[in-house]
Amino acid sequence: MTATGEQLAYADAYARSITATVRHVEGEDAPLIVLDRTIFYPGGGGQPADRGVLLRAADGRTWTVRAARKAGSEIAHELEPDGDPPAVGDTLQVDIDWARRFALMRTHTALHALCGVVWRDHGAQVTGGNMEPGSGRMDFEFESMSGDLVDSIEATVNRELAAERDVRVAILPRAEAFAIPDLIRTKINLLPDGIEQIRTIEIVGLDLQADGGTHVANTREVGQIRVTGYESKGRINKRIRIELMDPNA
Ligand SMILES: [Zn+2]
């Protein structure tokens, strides 16, 4: 195969429709399709893969994309089983399920705001996280966490979101990224040696992380959140669950 297809979600999270050409088709029951360019996010870092639709302009035939995933360096689109897949060379209109993706972008950004507040105000490191559209959870090494503290964290996160902070994406050479003290806490040092470029997400003035996901451009788009629960996963490890106050905004 020629050079890897363009992967636009990493550079422009707001791209929701493009035209692309089929480069590779594999499998019959749930065919995997590789395109010369795509806006699908393949999942990773706690953010689920996009869903969407492929439309062949030539005859109006459509296919439902039920998931996307990394396949080597490519992003493969997994189709619902539905008769013949598109053919190599076909021109397709590629649409992601935007309402779902935008909810994920808002949720992902809210989780970064939560990480930023917990780190800045309590010095607790994040150890993991996961999300669905509109809700998510983060795990912290946070021995002193309590119900009162969680209430104040919720209020602080909402204040930070309301401050309309810009959210910026950058791609840094590895050495430069490793020189940023804030990035070390997110266990950037676990990244394999072969990775030469580090993608970072910054909520300006609040949080900076190495991250592969999609986020909104300003915290005002998140709206407000509420903490829906917290639990101890041991003496040190604690989990905080949040949801968007308005998941369909
Ligand atoms: Zn993230």
CA of 60 to the centre of ligand 1 (A): 37
CA of 212 to the centre of ligand 1 (A): 7
Structure confidence at residue 132 as a pLDDT band (50, 70, 90): very high
CA of 45 to the centre of ligand 1 (A): 6
Around ion ligand 1, residues with a beta carbon closer than 5 Å are: 211, 213
- Using the structure block, give the residue that is written with the tokens 């994309």: 65
Distances (CA, A) of 96 to 5, 77, 80, 116: 17, 11, 15, 29
Listed in sequence order, the residues at least 6 apart from 105 whose beta carbon sits closer than 8 Å to its beta carbon are: 13, 214, 215, 216, 221
Structure confidence at residue 29 as a pLDDT band (50, 70, 90): confident
CA of 138 to the centre of ligand 1 (A): 10
pLDDT (0 to 100) of residue 193: 72
Strands 6-7 vs 37-38: parallel, antiparallel or unpaired:
parallel
pLDDT digits (tens, 9 = 90+) for 92-105: 999 999 999 999 99
CA of 58 to the centre of ligand 1 (A): 39
pLDDT (0 to 100) of residue 95: 98
* Average confidence score pLDDT of the chain: 93
pLDDT (0 to 100) of residue 185: 63
Residue type, 16: R
CA of 213 to the centre of ligand 1 (A): 6
Question: Tokens representing 48?
Answer: 């689920």
CA of 207 to the centre of ligand 1 (A): 11
Distance CA 167, CA 71 (A): 29
pLDDT (0 to 100) of residue 182: 73
Structure confidence at residue 183 as a pLDDT band (50, 70, 90): confident
For 232, the 3-state DSSP assignment is strand
More confident residue, 82 or 169: 169
CA of 4 to the centre of ligand 1 (A): 24
Task: Answer yes or no: are the C-beta atoms of 146 and 106 closer than 8 Å.
Answer: no
CA of 112 to the centre of ligand 1 (A): 6
Of the candidate ranges 10-24, 101-115, 193-207, 228-242, the one whose mean pLDDT is the lowest: 193-207
Tell how far CA 116 is from the center of its chain: 16
For 121, the 3-state DSSP assignment is helix
How many percent of the chain have pLDDT more than 90? 79
- CA angle (53 as vertex; 103, 167 as ends), nearest 5: 30
The pLDDT of residue 188 is above 70: no
CA of 137 to the centre of ligand 1 (A): 11
Summarize the confidence of residues 228-237 as an average pLDDT: 93
C-alpha dihedral, 168 to 173 to 179 to 181, nearest 10°: 30
Question: Tokens representing 54?
Answer: 């492929």
pLDDT (0 to 100) of residue 34: 97
CA of 215 to the centre of ligand 1 (A): 8
